[in-house]
């Protein structure tokens, strides 16, 4: 597939990388730490359950009977859980709407609240349904409107980037638009998974967003019809210049198929006599760290990123294959919708003095989430 992407005016590709710059790329000075565990850990599905291993829910008439099996306190934790269990066991008896009493939902809500208490909007617990939605998105196929959302420095829900060619893109939604309401629900207390749940929905249905553009206090409503979203993460275009043909590679996200799609693009580019490459990371909201390392490996050697863990360990991540374009003139395009793994890619390339970075200030989320799969979906 060929994508026609508008480019900034007057982009000058550098000459072929010199030996000095190649050495810098081989031994980069990149100290862009990816803060894991303390800063950003996503809890997937059910696993950490406050010392309780199993919940059995049975209904007797209108009153659900919840049996808690095993109330062991977690190891190395001097915490009195009696208040928690008092509330957990009192709600089924005292709450007037018995249809709302669901022990499994109690459990998921308790875990979600525990994770939210960290105060990090990007650290979240996903129940099995939410986990499946994230997997669908990373696979590049889901039903929704086609936006990536996150939080700004004030922990307000914002658009990271609309995905090109989707209903959100067609509706004129922009990076850093504040999302004030989803249908009639205020967003100030929503977690990221909860907001995604509200925006997603079957193709053909509609969702109303109340938005406010960055720097203004004038909210406006947008009604968008949901659709089937199919995203190809890597697309190639070509541009003739007075110095030769240039390959323009648009990377829309770092998902499950990015590595294979990138390798196909590299094979296509390698068959042509090109002068240089432009990697377009504009409106790339990020994704899988491993995929960003794979793409960066095409242009540089040595350490690409360092991960700092909660126990103080620092692990270096080097290129995962021998790149085909280690000395090819390179430009990387970014904008305010470039976030997370795409910022890490651009930061590594810049600190290695491997390419020019052209565009706007990026979104500012220079971290990635470490997915932890737990039992239960």
User: If you ran DSSP here, which 8-state letter would residue 320 be given?
Assistant: S
Is the CB of residue 157 less than 8 Å from the CB of residue 190? yes
* CA 236 to mean position of chain CA atoms: 23
Q: Report the alpha-carbon distance of residue 112 to residue 229 in Å, rounded.
A: 28
Whether 351 is a known active-site residue: answer yes
Is the CB of residue 301 less than 8 Å from the CB of residue 26? yes
Is the CB of residue 93 less than 8 Å from the CB of residue 103? no
Q: For 300, what's the count of Cα atoms within 13 Å in the CB-facing half-sphere? A: 31
Ordered alpha helix ranges (H), the chain: 19-26, 82-94, 103-116, 128-139, 167-170, 192-199, 258-270, 289-296, 341-351
Whether 320 is a known active-site residue: answer no
Closest C-alpha among 152, 205, 200, 145 to residue 180: 152
127, 177, 280, 351: which one is catalytic?
351
Buried (b) or exposed (e) across 265-280, using 16+ Cβ within 10 A?
bbeebeeeebbbbbbb
Q: Report the alpha-carbon distance of residue 350 to residue 118 in Å, rounded.
A: 32
233, 291, 340, 342: which one is catalytic?
340
Catalytic residues: 340, 351, 365
């Amino acid at each position: 597939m060929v994508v026609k992407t508008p480019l900034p005016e007057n982009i000058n590709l550098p000459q072929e990388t010199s030996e000095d710059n190649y050495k810098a790329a081989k031994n980069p000075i990149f100290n862009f730490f990816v803060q894991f565990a303390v800063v950003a850990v996503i809890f997937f599905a059910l696993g950490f359950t406050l010392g309780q291993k199993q919940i059995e829910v049975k209904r007797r008439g209108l009153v659900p009977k919840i049996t808690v099996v095993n109330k062991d306190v977690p190891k190395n934790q001097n915490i009195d859980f009696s208040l928690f269990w008092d509330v957990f066991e009192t709600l089924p008896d005292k709450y007037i709407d018995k249809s709302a009493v669901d022990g499994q939902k109690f459990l998921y809500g308790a875990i979600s609240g525990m994770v939210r208490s960290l105060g990090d909007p990007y650290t979240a617990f996903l129940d099995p349904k939410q986990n499946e939605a994230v997997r669908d998105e990373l696979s590049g196929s889901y039903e929704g409107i086609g936006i990536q959302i996150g939080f700004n420095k004030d922990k307000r829900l914002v658009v990271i980037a609309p995905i090109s060619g989707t209903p959100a893109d067609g509706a004129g939604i922009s990076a850093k638009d504040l999302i004030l309401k989803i249908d009639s629900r205020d967003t100030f207390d929503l977690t990221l998974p909860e907001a995604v749940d509200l925006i997603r929905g079957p193709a053909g249905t509609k969702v109303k967003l109340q938005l406010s553009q960055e720097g203004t206090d004038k909210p406006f409503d947008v009604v968008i019809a949901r659709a089937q979203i199919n995203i190809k993460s890597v697309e190639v275009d070509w541009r003739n210049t007075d110095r030769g043909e240039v390959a323009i590679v648009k990377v829309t996200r770092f998902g499950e198929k990015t590595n294979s799609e990138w390798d196909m693009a590299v094979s296509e580019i390698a068959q042509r006599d090109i002068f240089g490459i432009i990697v377009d990371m504009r409106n790339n909201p990020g994704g899988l760290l491993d995929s960003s390392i794979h793409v960066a490996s095409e242009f540089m050697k040595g350490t690409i990123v360092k991960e700092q863990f909660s126990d103080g360990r620092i692990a270096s991540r080097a290129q995962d294959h021998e790149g085909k374009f280690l000395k090819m003139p390179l430009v990387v395009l970014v904008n305010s919708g470039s976030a997370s793994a795409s910022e890490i890619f651009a930061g590594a390339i810049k600190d290695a003095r491997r390419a020019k970075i052209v565009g706007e200030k990026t979104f500012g989320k220079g971290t990635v989430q470490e997915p932890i799969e737990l039992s239960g979906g």
